[in-house]
Chain A
């Protein structure tokens, strides 16, 4: 009677189903936290990269030089990510198409835009990876925890039916251990939901900025293309 009900004894004393539920929730919590931290690092890095690249881009540097700078990194074996990959995709397509003199200026622009759109989509896929997992942890783990609790309480009351003397002390440990499952479910769900909402908003924001960059870059390319074509027609 005097033995202390430590949380560890409660968990170890729970029935198999409840323990299984707790294990699942613990795994969900661990994995979702792993993803939260990783997404946080990724988004922060992407953000920094975007700011740094835009600064570099608008510093008046020649676009061909900017492209060539990036080649070095590719040769080192680290492919570009973020806004730089969009820039490189667009510029590559643009220079490849503009070398062919029989192509219309509009077609060149269209090609470059398409290449950049594809790169943007790929980027958004990369940024949004794992977010669905966070969403499902956030929405289902309270239910899983609740299931564990209901199951535990069911058992605890069934035990009460067999006992001759029904005291609070006979059911209290069972209910307490069952409630741990709900607590774990909520513990897994709350950060996951918060992180999902936050990350989804940040990814949206990043994609918007990418789109803006694509439009601005297209403007520059358009100017260059028409200037080039005008020179060709004169010459």
Chain B
């Protein structure tokens, strides 16, 4: 009895140790191999770039506006939408996520003080500006003209490059939403475009993919720090949402 147990231990222990060792090694390798994906997937979400549709002339106007209000780069995008609340084709600010609603609030007092500078409203604007800055600092990666982190700047450049190449099909409607996942390599080349969330309209999805594929390359990301690139741009989301259409 004892002898047979000893015999079992004599042959069993090495077998068990050997198998456990190999299993551990394989598990470690497998985990290590899949790790980059999970990490990227986790951080990619907050960095989603909101590519709202802005028609070409709107863009130009924006640039002019940017030149005019050069000293204040941050508030610039906000006053834009304000003057033309709904009927106009550029309600870019109409968005769903919380930081953006805050944004929408801000322009109202912002623009108002300029024509008639009431004290209260100015205060309000000041407060709103602070709120905005906080919001921007936390997560507003792709607001145009925002001089944020290098990551934000690159995101804004990518957004502009894609929007410039985006031609919507006639079937596009306000409220459609397509989320693409884009994979970049450190040279800035697009190596993968997948539809994460379809709008339901194939032509519209297609137009979004085409826009990215036409852009094909975002050389700006070459300047980014390697770690930032891996975190934000190895894989990121781009959301297409036309909001300037008349119907």
Question: Are A and B subunits of one complex?
Answer: yes
Check: B39 CB closer than 8 A to any chain A CB: no
Check: B8 CB closer than 8 A to any chain A CB: no
Q: Could you say which of A4, A29, A33, A77 contacts B37, with CB atoms under 8 Å apart?
A: A4
- A127 to B2: give the CA distance in the assembly, Å: 24
Q: Which residue in chain B gives the minimum CB-CB distance to A180? A: B29
Residues in A with CB closer than 8 Å to B228 are none
- A122 to B33: give the CA distance in the assembly, Å: 49
Residues in A with CB closer than 8 Å to B232 are none
- A78 to B14: give the CA distance in the assembly, Å: 21
Residues in B with CB closer than 8 Å to A76 are 3
Which applies to chain B's interface (DSSP): helix, strand, loop or mixed? helix
- A4 to B38: give the CA distance in the assembly, Å: 10
Q: Which residue in chain B gives the minimum CB-CB distance to A168? A: B185
With A4-B37, A41-B10, A41-B13 known as contacts, the answer to whether A33 contacts B29 (CB < 8 A) is no
- A29 to B23: give the CA distance in the assembly, Å: 12
Check: A194 CB closer than 8 A to any chain B CB: no
Binary flags per residue of A185-196, CB closer than 8 Å to B gives 1, else 0: 001000000000
Q: Which residue in chain A gives the minimum CB-CB distance to B11? A: A38
Check: B181 CB closer than 8 A to any chain A CB: yes
- A29 to B13: give the CA distance in the assembly, Å: 16
With A6-B34, A29-B22, A169-B191 known as contacts, the answer to whether A1 contacts B183 (CB < 8 A) is yes
Binary flags per residue of A1-37, CB closer than 8 Å to B gives 1, else 0: 1101111100000000000000000100110011111
Binary flags per residue of B155-193, CB closer than 8 Å to A gives 1, else 0: 000000000000000000000000001010000000110
Are B30's CB and A8's CB within 8 A? yes
Residues in B with CB closer than 8 Å to A7 are 29-30, 33
Are A34's CB and B18's CB within 8 A? yes
- A78 to B195: give the CA distance in the assembly, Å: 71
With A1-B183, A1-B192, A169-B191 known as contacts, the answer to whether A33 contacts B30 (CB < 8 A) is no
Are A33's CB and B18's CB within 8 A? yes
Q: Could you say which of B17, B34, B37 contacts A37, with CB atoms under 8 Å apart?
A: B17
Residues in A with CB closer than 8 Å to B203 are none
Check: B137 CB closer than 8 A to any chain A CB: no
* Chain B: interface size category: 20 to 34
Are A37's CB and B194's CB within 8 A? no
Q: Separation in Å of the A188 CB from the closest CB of chain B?
A: 10
Binary flags per residue of B1-26, CB closer than 8 Å to A gives 1, else 0: 00100000011011101110110010
Are B15's CB and A34's CB within 8 A? yes
With A8-B30, A37-B13 known as contacts, the answer to whether A1 contacts B18 (CB < 8 A) is no
- A1 to B185: give the CA distance in the assembly, Å: 12
Residues in A with CB closer than 8 Å to B194 are 2
Binary flags per residue of A66-79, CB closer than 8 Å to B gives 1, else 0: 00000000001110
Are A30's CB and B13's CB within 8 A? no
With A30-B22, A37-B18, A77-B3 known as contacts, the answer to whether A5 contacts B13 (CB < 8 A) is no
Q: Separation in Å of the A76 CB from the closest CB of chain B?
A: 8
Residues in A with CB closer than 8 Å to B181 are 2
Q: Could you say which of A30, A77, A169 contacts B18, with CB atoms under 8 Å apart?
A: A30
Q: Separation in Å of the B10 CB from the closest CB of chain A?
A: 7
Are A34's CB and B33's CB within 8 A? no
Are A33's CB and B17's CB within 8 A? yes
- A77 to B10: give the CA distance in the assembly, Å: 17
Q: Separation in Å of the A177 CB from the closest CB of chain B?
A: 12
Binary flags per residue of B191-231, CB closer than 8 Å to A gives 1, else 0: 11010000000000000000000000000000000000000
Residues in A with CB closer than 8 Å to B17 are 33, 37
Q: Could you say which of A2, A77, A187 contacts B192, with CB atoms under 8 Å apart?
A: A2
- Residues 168-227 (chain A) with a chain B CB within 8 angstroms: 169, 187
Residues in B with CB closer than 8 Å to A187 are 25
Q: List 11 A-B contacts (CB under 8 A).
A: A1-B191, A1-B192, A5-B33, A33-B17, A33-B21, A34-B14, A34-B15, A34-B18, A37-B18, A76-B3, A78-B3
Known contacts A34-B18, A38-B10; 15 further A-B pairs (Cβ under 8 A): A1-B183, A2-B194, A4-B34, A5-B33, A7-B30, A8-B30, A33-B17, A33-B21, A34-B14, A37-B17, A41-B10, A41-B14, A77-B3, A78-B3, A187-B25
